[in-house]
């Protein structure tokens, strides 16, 4: 079974979850339902994914009580100003149909817009009002983190960033450890691009596991929270079947050597300024 990880605010988060980025709204309830049946307790969505209603529907029809599920959503980029952020948070809660959110993140810092400090203050307000338990950020670089911590004195519980064997984020991880900010890995399978990697394939075969399972196991052993996405029932179930083997030091070393300049598959947080 997956571990839970303690956050710097005293709450905890399941270490393995289901990501629903790019899951079509029309199938999201079904996909999340498969995930919950398969053992997932953490569901990671965002306003920008357009599928919060489907997540809400799956939560309501699940055989597992709401209290055992951990639901994350994220504030859209064009709603960093306080009024907009409060309004969008209300919309998220309406769509999800939950009383309290487990984790709410600022989706991107959008440095060009320069409103993320105001967004962070609003998340603190929502947390203090009890509407969300834990608050954090996504795609924040060190300078963005230092700024929000410096201006508010509140350290995010989580930073969700692109992280996989081709983009291991070693320098960032030291800073996060110092501040006890839990990293969550998005695109943990390298957006699917690592699934034919010969090094990982060798390790996977040694353990009688698939490449995807081996990569997910690597995230777990690195102490990361990991949210692989799949819309396929068998793959969703298989991605959760990672608690019966362990990568040894040689395996971990071999995967460490895959870190590469230019390994990023998504946008660069320093410059990303898309509005949604
Ligand atoms: P699909 O949804 O068709 O299963 P990431 O989480 O890094 O963004 O990667 C997601 C991509 O990897 C998706 O394209 C997903 O496709 C694919 N994927 C997820 N799990 C597996 C798996 N176990 N085997 C093969 N492909 C997978």
Which tens digits make up the pLDDT trace of 166-193? 999 999 999 999 999 999 999 999 988 8
Going 172 to 9 to 59 to 55, the CA torsion angle's sign is negative
Q: Round to whole Å and give the CA distance between 257 and 261.
A: 12
Looking at every residue in the chain, the average pLDDT score rounds to 97
- Is any atom of ligand 1 closer than 6 Å to the C-beta of 214? no
Q: What's the rounded Cα separation, in Å, for the pair 195 and 123?
A: 37
Give 45's pLDDT tier (boundaries 50, 70, 90): very high
Helices (H) and strands (E) in the chain, counts: 10, 10
- Strand (E) positions, the chain? 4-6, 12-14, 17-19, 42-44, 70-75, 101-106, 132-138, 158-162, 182-186, 225-226
**Of 12-16, 221-225, 260-264, where does mean pLDDT reach its minimum?**
260-264
What pLDDT sits at residue 275? 87
- Interior/surface letters 9-48, b for 16+ CB within 10 angstroms, e for the rest: beebbbbbbbbbbebeeeebbebbbbbbebbbbbbbbbbb
Give residue 28's pLDDT: 98
Spatial separation of the C-alpha atoms in residues 218 and 210, rounded to whole Å: 12
Neighbours of 50 (CB within 10 A): 15
Which pTM does this prediction carry?
0.97
Mutate to test the pocket of ligand 1, among 228, 265, 266 (most ligand atoms within 8 A of CB): 228
Q: Please give the positions annotated as active site.
A: 49
Q: With pLDDT > 70 as the criterion, what percentage of the chain qualifies?
A: 99
**Span 246-268, average pLDDT:** 96
User: Quick check: CB of 165 below 6 Å from ligand 1?
Assistant: no
Ligand 1 in reach of 35 Cβ (< 6 A): no
The CA distance from 86 to 211, in Å, is: 41
Strands of the sheet with 158-162, listed across from one edge: 17-19, 42-44, 70-75, 101-106, 132-138, 158-162, 182-186, 225-226
pLDDT band of residue 1 (cuts 50, 70, 90) is low
Ligand 1 atom 1: the closest Cα is on which residue? Answer: 230
Contact between 187 and 266 (Cβ < 8 Å): yes
C-alpha to C-alpha distances, 264 to 66, 142, 154, 268, nearest whole angstrom: 35, 17, 29, 8
Question: What average pLDDT does this structure show over 84-104?
Answer: 98
| pLDDT of the residue at 261 | 87
Write the pLDDT tens digit of every residue in 123-150.
999 999 999 999 999 999 999 999 999 9
Query: CB of 59 closer than 6 A to ligand 1?
Result: no
> CB-hemisphere CA count at 13 Å for 194?
30
Q: Is a pLDDT exceeding 80 seen at residue 111?
A: yes
| Residue whose C-alpha is closest to residue 33's, from 51, 16, 54, 47 | 54
DSSP 8-state secondary structure symbol assigned to residue 8: T
State how far the alpha carbon of 227 is from the alpha carbons of 23, 107, 236, 240, in Å. 13, 15, 11, 10
Residue 40: the pLDDT is 98
pLDDT exceeds 70 at position 116: yes
pLDDT > 90: percent of the chain: 96
**pLDDT above 80: residue 2:** no
Residue 154 pLDDT: 98
């Amino acid at each position: 079974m997956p571990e839970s990880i303690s956050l710097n605010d005293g709450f905890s988060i399941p270490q393995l979850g289901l990501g629903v980025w790019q899951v079509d709204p029309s199938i999201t309830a079904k996909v999340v339902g498969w995930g919950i049946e398969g053992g997932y307790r953490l569901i990671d969505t965002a306003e920008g994914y357009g599928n919060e209603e489907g997540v809400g529907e799956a939560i309501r029809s699940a055989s597992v009580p709401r209290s055992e599920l951990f639901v994350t959503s994220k504030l859209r980029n064009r709603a960093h100003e306080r009024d907009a952020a409060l309004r969008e948070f209300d919309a998220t809660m309406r769509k999800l149909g939950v009383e309290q959110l487990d984790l709410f993140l600022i989706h991107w810092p959008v440095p060009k817009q320069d409103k993320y400090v105001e967004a962070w203050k609003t998340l603190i307000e929502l947390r203090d009002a009890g509407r969300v338990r834990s608050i954090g950020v996504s795609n924040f670089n060190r300078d963005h983190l230092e700024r929000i911590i410096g201006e508010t004195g509140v350290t995010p519980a989580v930073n969700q960033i692109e992280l996989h064997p081709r983009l291991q984020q070693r320098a960032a991880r030291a800073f996060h450890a110092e501040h006890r900010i839990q990293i969550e890995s998005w695109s943990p399978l390298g957006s699917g691009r690592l699934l034919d990697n010969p090094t990982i394939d060798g390790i996977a075969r040694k353990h009688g596991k698939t490449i995807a399972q081996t990569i997910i196991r690597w995230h777990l052993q690195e102490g990361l929270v990991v949210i692989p996405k799949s819309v396929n029932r068998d793959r969703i179930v298989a991605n959760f079947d990672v608690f019966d083997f362990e990568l040894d030091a040689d395996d971990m070393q071999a995967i460490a050597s895959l870190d590469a300049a230019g390994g990023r598959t998504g946008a660069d947080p320093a410059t990303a300024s898309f509005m949604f």
